[in-house]
Amino acid sequence: MPFVGDIFAQLKSTASTTVLAEIRDGQASGVTGTEMLELVRKARTFLAAQGLQKGDRCGLLAANSIRWIAMDLAAMAEGLIVVPLYSRQAPAELVAMMKDSTLSLVCCGDAGLRDAIQKTWTNAPPAFLFDEIFKGVEGVQLDRPQVRESDPVTIIYTSGTSGEAKGVVLTAANVGFMLGCTSARLDQLMGGRSEVDRVYHYLPFSFCASWIAILTFVLRGSVVTLNTDLTKIPNDLPVVAPHYFLNVPQLLERMRRGVDEQVAKKGGAANAIYSRAKAACVLKKENRQKSTNALWLWLAEKMVFSAIRKRLFGTNLKALISGSAPLTPETQDYFGMLGIPVLQVYGLTETTGICTMDDPANPVPGRVGPTIPGIEMKLGENDEILVRGPNIFPGYWNRPQQTAEVLRDGWFHTGDQGEMDGTGTWRIVGRIKNLIVLGSGHKLAPEVIEDEIARLLPTAQQVVVIGNGRGYLTAIITGNVAANFVQEALDAVNILNPHYKQVRAFFVRTEPFSIDNGMLTANGKLKRDLISVRLKNEIEEMYGVKQAV
């Protein structure tokens, strides 16, 4: 039975239990399994009345909510292909995706989103608000999902770091396989599931890994609390007290800096013990043992670490899960010091979100875990990661040539560079398309150098290394960072690298790259090509080339 039917069966089994909740204005309100199924029924009845055909595309444009999930399940059960759209993305970019997928209708969370689309696209397909869809229309009980294993269930648009976003088609079989893998790994984390999982979720459902996560949680019968205001995450977490939740590295880095600042501000014995415990952890990792290391770590656990854990996450946390981008080993080590394992996952939309997952019993800082069972991974030319298995997408929507470029001889060419150690644990080095080829012919991945510099500049927002076709490397640093601190960081990094990997000049840009200014993709990745175009004058000046006015 396809995964949609499995989810419906799970919701029936938790008929009177709260399965999903939202926090709004500090108050949580939720739905039981029966109430969730009723929302799905209303949405299916509405969709069935629109005269749609199986395989028609249904746009879903809304912020995270319980009704988003009900709408998604209803559309898939009706045999429609859901096109999830990021509610914070620019209307022009959203319209481009809508046109590409030839939507039959759009389901919108609020009037503002609908109006922005209709203002940008005069011939937009019919758009219906959630309030209309869920208002309580009577209809036939549509019990049996129409979707089959081989049917496409979604088209998720990739972030498009260097050009127009492509629609990734995923089938019910892709998703069903992945849900089994993710649930099995969470079983390992929960150690036999002696209690119902408590989960917190804030990442947009329009992102593949986030969507797979929320479907996994519902399928497992977890109690899931949804964030509805990103600024309230610090307030939500200790109240929800989750066992685990999915993160992006940016939030974990921000938490780490926030704790450092708060403990330093508090001062006194707590700050002294905390600082010495951090130093002891560094010495321990470097195998530089001191007789006092164990003492400081013991004192910190008793007097500081346990209080930090409780204040940040409540009393149930078993692990943090991190994906979408590499997490620095220092941050992973930091949370490990606090007694919180950070489990990394790696994957792409084309691989149904996930290829590798950390073993909960043995996460390795700086690495993303072993390949999940049933999937094969190997290295190709330029150490490119190649993947095959039931998780691989059938192709891009209406792009046969681009599909053929990445699906060759049964393997999906990820475009990522990687390495695998003797235990089968993977590390992601960078992106092939980001590979810098200097005028000397030397090839290098900029991400490695960027990470090295960023570790020494905690107040920097981003570090972008430039140099393709040039004689040497330069860097753009964003944020409020003094030039002398940047130079000190470069000096420290350069001395450890060969001449062709040394950064010889830099430019500090106070305004960070962001989604709003168009320099980041919807899921926070750098648009390197666009950065090079918009900052062309600054880049040329770093290479001693004056631009004509």
pLDDT classification of 547: cutoffs 50, 70, 90: very low
Report the amino acid identity of residue 180: G
For the cut 90, the answer to whether the pLDDT of residue 241 exceeds it is yes
Q: How far apart are CA 234 and CA 435, in angstroms?
A: 37
Q: Is the pLDDT of residue 151 over 90?
A: yes
For residue 424, give both structure tokens.
């089968």
Over the chain, what is the mean pLDDT?
90
- Residue 167 pLDDT: 96
Assign domain 435-542 to a CATH class: alpha beta
C-alpha 173/C-alpha 352 separation (Å) is 10
Give the pLDDT score at 549.
31
Please check the confidence at residue 143 and state whether its pLDDT lies above 70: no
For range 121-129, the mean pLDDT: 94
pLDDT higher than threshold 80 for residue 40: yes
State the sign of the Cα–Cα–Cα–Cα dihedral 472, 478, 483, 485.
negative
pLDDT of residue 117 exceeding 50, the answer is: yes
> What torsion, rounded to 10 degrees, do the Cα atoms 363, 364, 366, 372 define?
-60
| Class for the domain spanning 3-243 | alpha beta
Q: pLDDT, tens digit, for every residue of 434-478?
A: 878 787 777 788 888 998 999 899 889 999 999 988 889 999 999
- Write out pLDDT tens, residues 466-509: 998 888 999 999 999 999 999 999 999 999 888 889 999 999 99
Q: State pTM to two decimals.
A: 0.85
- DSSP symbols for 374-396: T-EEEE-GGGEEEEESTTS-SEE
For 141, other C-beta atoms within 10 Å of its C-beta total 9
Give the model's pLDDT for residue 82: 98
| Confidence band of 160 (pLDDT split at 50, 70, 90) | low
Sequence spans of domains, the chain:
3-243, 249-315+319-431, 435-542
Q: How do residues 273-316 score in pLDDT, each as one tens digit?
A: 999 988 888 888 777 777 787 888 899 899 999 999 999 999 99
For a pLDDT cut of 70, what percent of the chain falls above it? 96
What does DSSP assign to residue 92?
H
- Give dist(CA 407, CA 409) in Å, integer: 7
Between 296 and 397, name the one with better pLDDT: 397
Q: What is the pLDDT of residues 518-527, one digit of tens each?
A: 888 876 788 8
Whether residue 76 is predicted with pLDDT greater than 60 in this model: the reply is yes
- pLDDT of residue 198 exceeding 90, the answer is yes
Around 495, how many Cα atoms within 13 Å sit in the side-chain half-sphere? 5
N residues, the chain: 549
Class of domain 249-315+319-431: alpha beta
pLDDT at 176: 96
Asked, colleague to colleague, whether 3-243 and 249-315+319-431 share their fold, the answer is: yes
Give me the amino acid identity at 449: I
Transcribe 218-233 into DSSP letters.
HHTT-EEEEES-GGGH
Sheet holding 81-85, edge to edge: 127-129, 105-108, 57-61, 81-85, 152-157, 167-171, 395-396
pLDDT of residue 266: 86
